């Protein structure tokens, strides 16, 4: 029987994106997508297949092991796809530390190593491990692979990865890792195919979504990232603080008497756009609001983003192109315009009409720096990497 289908699982802290791919001549082509949304109680399964869109309320509860949710999800999918044709499942794993430089086939040893990195990504790693184990329980003979967000940044120079802390702590793994690597790998590949001249230059890609970061690319190779040891670092995000003076943490833990768990909740869930505005973590709601706190949150986001772009440009030794991607980067012309306006002194000038239309190229003909909008596709990278791992094992 033909096994020419492949699933991808992209686990977030409150949702799981699923991709269904057909395998055609050593290439993975997406056929459908789905999202399990744990923010709703009970959780829902939203499926898109071509022009067909459906949403199902799951009967299963989101237990610690997710077995019931995955069993019901697979049962629903089996009504629409021949599950006997599925050859593998590929997963996005946020943190690979320095253990993983590329995708791997999941086995007992790799699960143990991934689990050992949970303390470095407490928001995302546990969810991914629950999915891996639930699928193993449901379909123990189905091969699974892992693609790591940190792997793309393993090319960062040592000086970029270091903090100014005792060497012994660096040697224990307290260093900058970088994240959103699957997104940046897709952008680098898309630029190489669509705009090869720009791809060979010094490029900063801005992955601006609920989680947000920047990556400095030189000829498609990552040399720096705004995120460091954790997914809290860098620019402000929907609910995460971004770069923060460590003295603030000492003050919160010391004189203000906050516990480590309270501090974690503040930094991960109460800060960013939500914290500054006091209104919403959604940039669309803030842009629509006339309240000054909403404007201030957006201004702080664009100010810090532009500043981080200039820092990474110093790492690259220049800047030839800027790429916007992810939910905000792909769909918010006003935020792109505000960021680019802060970079006008570098010679960046955008075409207002092209920007308003979310065109692929939004910089003007006179701009010294090219600016692009490129939709990202992490699921495609997960599928491609899963296929490469399976092919190597044949």
Report all structural domains of the chain as residue ranges with CATH numbers, in order of start.
Answer: 5-148 (3.30.420.40), 196-373 (3.30.420.40)
pLDDT of residue 2: 55
The average pLDDT across 48-59 equals 83
What local confidence, expressed as pLDDT, does residue 205 receive?
A: 98
What is the mean pLDDT of the segment spanning 103-125? 91
The one-character DSSP state at 220 is T
For residues 88-101, average pLDDT: 94
Give the pLDDT band (50/70/90) at residue 1. very low
| CA quadruple 134, 140, 145, 150: dihedral sign | positive
Residues in a beta bridge with 203: 217, 321
- Model confidence at 394, pLDDT cuts 50, 70, 90, reads very low
Residue whose C-alpha is closest to residue 58's, from 84, 71, 137: 71
User: How does the average pLDDT of the chain come out, rounded?
Assistant: 93
**Residue 21 confidence class, pLDDT cut points 50, 70, 90:** very high
Quick count: other Cβ atoms within 10 Å of Cβ 154?
17
What value does the mean pLDDT take over residues 65-84?
85
How do residues 204-258 score in pLDDT, each as one tens digit?
A: 999 999 999 999 999 999 999 999 999 999 999 999 999 999 999 999 999 999 9
Query: Would the pLDDT of 64 be above 80?
Result: no
User: Which active-site residues does the annotation give?
Assistant: 149
The three state secondary structure string of 237-284 is CCCCCCCCCHHHHHHHHCCCCCCHHHHHHHHHHCCHHHHHHCCCCCHH
Name every residue whose Cβ is closer than 8 Å to that of residue 132 and which is 6 or more positions away in sequence: 91, 106, 111, 114, 144, 146
Q: What is the mean pLDDT of residues 193-198?
A: 96
**pLDDT attached to residue 393:** 53
Query: How many C-beta atoms lie closer than 10 Å to residue 160's C-beta?
Result: 19
Q: What percent of the chain has pLDDT over 90?
A: 76
Give percent of the chain with pLDDT exceeding 70.
Answer: 98
- The pLDDT score that the predictor gives to residue 113 is 95
Check: CB of residue 9 under 8 Å from CB of residue 18: yes
pLDDT at 67: 85
For residue 310, pLDDT over 90 is answered with: yes
């Amino acid at each position: 029987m033909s096994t020419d289908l492949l699933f991808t699982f992209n686990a977030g802290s409150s949702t799981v994106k699923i991709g269904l791919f057909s395998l055609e001549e050593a290439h993975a082509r997406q056929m459908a997508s789905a999202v399990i949304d744990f923010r709703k109680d009970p959780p829902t399964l939203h499926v898109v297949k071509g022009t067909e869109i459906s949403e199902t309320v799951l009967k299963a509860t989101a237990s610690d092991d997710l077995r019931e949710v995955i069993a019901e999800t697979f049962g629903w999918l089996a009504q629409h796809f021949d599950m006997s044709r599925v050859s593998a499942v590929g997963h996005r794993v946020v943190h690979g530390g320095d253990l993983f430089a590329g995708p791997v086939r999941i086995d007992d040893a790799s699960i143990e190593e991934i689990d050992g990195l949970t303390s470095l990504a407490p928001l995302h790693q546990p969810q991914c491990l629950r999915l891996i184990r639930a699928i193993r329980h449901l379909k123990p003979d189905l091969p699974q692979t892992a693609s790591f967000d940190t792997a793309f940044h393993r090319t960062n120079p040592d000086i970029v990865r270091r903090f100014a802390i005792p060497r012994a702590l660096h040697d224990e793994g307290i260093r900058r890792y970088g994240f959103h690597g699957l997104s940046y790998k897709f952008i680098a590949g898309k630029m190489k195919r669509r705009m090869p001249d720009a791809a060979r230059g010094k490029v900063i890609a801005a992955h601006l979504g609920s989680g947000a970061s920047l990556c400095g690319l030189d000829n498609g190779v990552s040399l720096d990232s705004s995120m460091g040891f954790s997914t809290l670092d860098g620019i402000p995000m929907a609910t995460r603080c971004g770069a923060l003076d460590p003295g603030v943490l000492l003050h919160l833990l010391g004189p203000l008497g906050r516990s480590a768990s309270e501090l974690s909740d503040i930094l991960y869930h109460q800060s960013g756009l939500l914290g500054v505005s006091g209104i919403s973590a959604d940039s669309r709601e803030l842009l629509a609001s006339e309240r000054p706190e909403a404007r201030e949150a957006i201004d702080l986001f664009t100010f810090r983003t532009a500043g981080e772009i200039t820092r990474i440009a110093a790492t690259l030794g220049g800047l030839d192109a800027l790429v916007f991607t992810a939910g905000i980067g792909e769909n918010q012309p006003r935020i792109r315009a505000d960021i680019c306006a802060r970079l006008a002194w570098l010679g960046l000038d955008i075409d207002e009409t092209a920007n308003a239309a979310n065109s692929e190229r939004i910089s003007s003909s006179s701009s010294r720096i090219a600016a692009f909008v490129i939709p990202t596709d992490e699921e495609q990278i997960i599928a491609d990497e899963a296929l490469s791992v399976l092919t190597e094992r044949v």
